């Protein structure tokens, strides 16, 4: 009996290490597979590719938006917005939040190049996000299903993001931690996580909407799970904090540049790559314009067909989130997050090839794919993930020379 106090903490520590080691092994194997795919895509890259013939892995790490993060880390943000020949605001650093590039710069100091720091931050944050995702899903589904969900996440179609200079994996780490805090009703940590989310990637306003709906749900179910005054105050205060953080970058950009629309004008500069001319923003306009662009201008159909497809997709996704038993197993919190994030995208995003990358915050839904216990099903989902990953890597990093090959 005297040894019991020593044995119990040791067993508890071992029990905590097992998931970390298991997820670590899964993550390592997934990263080796992704590396092999990136090397193969580099070998297949030719003169017609954005990256040229046989680019090095470092070139891929710094590809696409990674270069903008690098510029932020080295030069900061402009006090005067660059303009095109027509006088419109040109693409610039204000579209990219500061946490990832400056953290990567700090990590890179011993190595002498920002790309190494960016790669390390992405890799380490990706592992941490995978581990937190396991514990997040373990709150709702069994150990085996949660592990398979991490397999799908780590080897999924967008797995290249774990190994390039993008802010996604760091942003996912903050998001998964925030969702875990909500599930466990540990609201205090959210006062730090919300600013980290907001200054790593856009999208914290979606979390504000999530908190609002979550608060309404907690109020409606207060007889089943008592809602204390303290919890209610936390939810309201955190929702307000998320709103303030969500709009603060626009205010900072406006204050530094002297233009109140600096951030919005910068974001719209990218849209002119798809639809030339003066771009405007209002809720839903992005998806409506994109439906007309793709179905009419690119695919030769009518814009009306695009609108019908968009409406049908919204209905189908809503039905899946609220009716499919596999999704319902994940609990109200994760379903509410998924729904509010999709509403956020629908309101603000111009749908193009980057939509696949912007759907990564829905990764907790991998739990729904992992719930069926059939090994044939799980092997099939994994095969589809790997096939999708190769398609993404080859097109975005092996080629990248068409309008739909932009990550």
89 SS3 class: strand
| Cβ 179 vs Cβ 389: under 8 Å | no
Which residues, in sequence order, are CB contacts of 169 under 8 Å at separation 6+? 121, 122, 123, 125, 126, 129, 161, 162
Q: Which residues of 69-108 are buried (b: 16+ CB within 10 A; e: fewer)?
A: bbbbbeeebbeebeeeeeeebeebbbbbbbbbbbbbbebb
Report the phi/psi class of residue 52: left, alpha or beta, with left for phi > 0 and alpha for psi in -120 to 50: left
> What angle do the packed helices 114-138 and 99-108 form, to 10 degrees?
120
- In angstroms and rounded to an integer, the radius of gyration of the C-alpha atoms of the chain is 22
Supply 201's token pair: 């990637």
Please tell me the distance from the alpha carbon of residue 32 to that of residue 41, in angstroms, as a whole number: 14
Residue with tokens 């009518």: 302
The DSSP symbol for 83 reads B
Please tell me the distance from the alpha carbon of residue 177 to that of residue 189, in angstroms, as a whole number: 9
Please tell me the distance from the alpha carbon of residue 184 to that of residue 289, in angstroms, as a whole number: 40
The alpha helices in 45-167, defined as continuous H runs, are 57-61, 66-75, 99-108, 114-138, 143-154
Length of the chain: 407
Which residues, in sequence order, are CB contacts of 175 under 8 Å at separation 6+? 197, 207, 361
In a structure prediction context, what are the per-residue pLDDT tens digits for the chain, which is 407 residues long? Answer: 444 555 566 565 556 689 999 999 999 999 999 999 999 999 999 888 999 998 999 999 999 999 999 999 999 999 999 999 888 999 999 999 999 999 999 999 999 999 999 999 999 999 999 999 999 999 999 999 999 999 999 999 999 999 999 999 999 999 999 999 999 999 999 999 999 999 999 999 999 999 999 999 999 999 999 999 999 999 999 999 999 999 999 999 999 999 999 999 999 998 887 887 666 788 888 888 888 888 888 888 888 888 888 899 989 999 999 899 999 999 999 999 999 999 999 999 988 889 999 999 999 999 999 999 999 999 999 999 999 999 999 999 999 988 889 99
Cα dist. 218→176, 198, 232, 239, 343 in Å?
20, 24, 9, 14, 20
């Amino acid at each position: 009996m005297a040894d019991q106090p020593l044995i119990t903490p040791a067993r508890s520590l071992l029990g905590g290490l097992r998931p970390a080691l298991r997820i670590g092994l899964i993550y390592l194997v997934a990263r080796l597979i992704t590396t092999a795919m990136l090397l193969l895509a580099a070998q297949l890259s030719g003169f017609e590719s954005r990256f040229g013939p046989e680019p090095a892995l470092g070139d891929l790490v710094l590809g696409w938006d990674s270069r903008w993060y690098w510029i932020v880390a080295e030069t900061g943000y402009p006090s005067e917005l660059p303009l095109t020949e027509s006088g419109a605001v040109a693409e610039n650093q204000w579209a990219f939040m500061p946490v990832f590039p400056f953290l990567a710069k700090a990590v890179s100091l011993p190595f002498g190049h920002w790309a190494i720091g960016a790669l390390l931050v992405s890799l380490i944050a990706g592992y941490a996000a995978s581990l937190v995702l396991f514990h997040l899903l373990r709150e709702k589904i069994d150990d085996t299903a949660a592990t398979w969900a991490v397999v799908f996440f780590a080897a999924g179609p967008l797995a290249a993001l774990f190994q390039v200079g993008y802010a996604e994996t760091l942003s996912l780490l903050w998001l998964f931690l925030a969702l875990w805090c909500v599930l466990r009703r540990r609201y205090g940590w959210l006062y730090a996580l919300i600013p980290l989310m907001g200054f790593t990637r856009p999208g914290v306003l979606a979390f504000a909407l999530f908190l609002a709906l979550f608060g309404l749900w907690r109020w409606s179910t207060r007889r089943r799970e008592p809602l204390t005054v303290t919890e209610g105050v936390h939810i309201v205060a955190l929702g307000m904090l998320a709103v303030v953080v969500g709009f603060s970058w626009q205010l900072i950009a406006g204050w530094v540049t002297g233009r109140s629309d600096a951030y919005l004008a910068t974001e719209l500069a990218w849209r002119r790559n798809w639809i030339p001319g003066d771009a405007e923003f209002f809720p839903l306009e992005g998806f409506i314009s994109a439906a007309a662009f793709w179905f009419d201008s690119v695919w030769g159909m009518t814009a009306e067909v695009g609108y019908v497809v968009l409406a049908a997709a919204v209905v189908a996704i809503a039905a899946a989130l609220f009716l499919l038993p596999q999704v319902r197993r994940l609990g109200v919190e994760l379903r509410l997050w998924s729904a509010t994030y999709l509403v956020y995208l629908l309101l603000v995003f111009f749908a193009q090839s980057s939509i696949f990358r912007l759907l990564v915050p829905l990764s907790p839904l991998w739990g729904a794919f992992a719930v069926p216990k059939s090994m044939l099903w799980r092997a099939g989902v994994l095969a589809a993930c790997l096939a999708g990953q190769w398609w993404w890597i080859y097109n975005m990093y092996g080629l990248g020379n068409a309008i739909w090959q932009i990550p």
